[in-house]
């Protein structure tokens, strides 16, 4: 009798353990699914943070606002106007209204290549800012620091040749026929003295001369 009772108790304990295991398994599975969902939710948040941090995009040695549309952001580069920005977007195959920070490194490299050599990608020659270059004779489009350096060399060549424009640049005066009576009255330009003040100064000078002779 005692042995049968022990066997019954063992069977009851095994059944209870089995029930506990079955009850624990679905809870663990639910916990795992919950963790997976959390991880899935975390991943897009990390990507969003990365995009938020990418507010400044470096292109052609210039810091551009990544939150602006591509067409408008490109105009932050010196030498790129509204027309050439549209032409670059069309030649590179990107939507002009898409934000700059949505582009990856390969896309940015492609756009930089189009900016440096627009004529190779079908941009019309008449839209380039340096046609028939004096040294090379080629049609090129300069932007960023290249444009600034070329401008300095052009002004220095005019100064060395002592042309009218070169002399005006050397004196710091306008070189395109602007009026100078009311404008450009800064720097080396001497201010106008009123007639009344001039008369007072002349009289003071005349009085000072006889006193010196005495």
C-beta of residue 95 within 8 angstroms of C-beta of residue 89: yes
The whole-number pLDDT of residue 165 equals 94
- pLDDT at 44 > cutoff 60: no
130: left (phi over 0), alpha (psi -120 to 50) or beta: beta
- pLDDT at 79 > cutoff 70: yes
The whole-number pLDDT of residue 214 equals 46
- pTM value is 0.58
CATH architecture of 56-143: Orthogonal Bundle (1.10)
What is the C-alpha to C-alpha distance for residues 88 and 80, in angstroms, rounded to an integer? 9
Selection from 147, 153, 116 nearest residue 134 by Cα: 153
Selection from 117, 129, 142, 144 nearest residue 62 by Cα: 144
The whole-number pLDDT of residue 50 equals 52
For β-strands 62-65 and 56-59, DSSP reports them as: antiparallel
pLDDT (average), residues 106-120 = 91
Q: What is the CA radius of gyration of the chain?
A: 39
Specify the residue for token string 């049609």: 139
């Amino acid at each position: 009798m005692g042995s049968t009772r022990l066997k019954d108790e063992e069977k009851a304990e095994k059944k209870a353990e089995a029930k506990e295991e079955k009850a624990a398994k679905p809870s663990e599975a639910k916990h795992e699914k919950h963790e997976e969902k959390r991880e899935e939710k975390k991943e897009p948040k990390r990507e969003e943070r990365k995009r938020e941090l990418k507010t400044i995009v470096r292109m052609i040695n210039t810091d551009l606002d990544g939150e602006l549309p591509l067409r408008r952001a490109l105009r932050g580069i010196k030498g790129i106007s509204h027309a050439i920005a549209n032409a670059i977007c069309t030649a590179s195959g990107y939507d002009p209204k898409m934000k700059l920070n949505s582009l990856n490194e390969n896309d940015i490299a492609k756009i930089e290549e189009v900016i440096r050599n627009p004529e190779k990608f079908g941009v019309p020659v008449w839209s380039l800012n340096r046609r028939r270059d004096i040294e090379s004779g080629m049609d090129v489009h300069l932007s960023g620091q290249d444009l600034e350096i070329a401008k300095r060399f052009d002004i220095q060549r005019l100064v060395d040749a002592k042309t009218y424009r070169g002399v005006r640049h050397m004196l710091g005066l306008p070189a395109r026929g602007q009026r100078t009576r009311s404008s450009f009255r800064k720097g080396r330009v001497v201010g106008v003295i009123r007639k009344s003040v001039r008369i007072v100064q002349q009289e003071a000078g005349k009085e000072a001369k006889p006193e010196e002779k005495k």
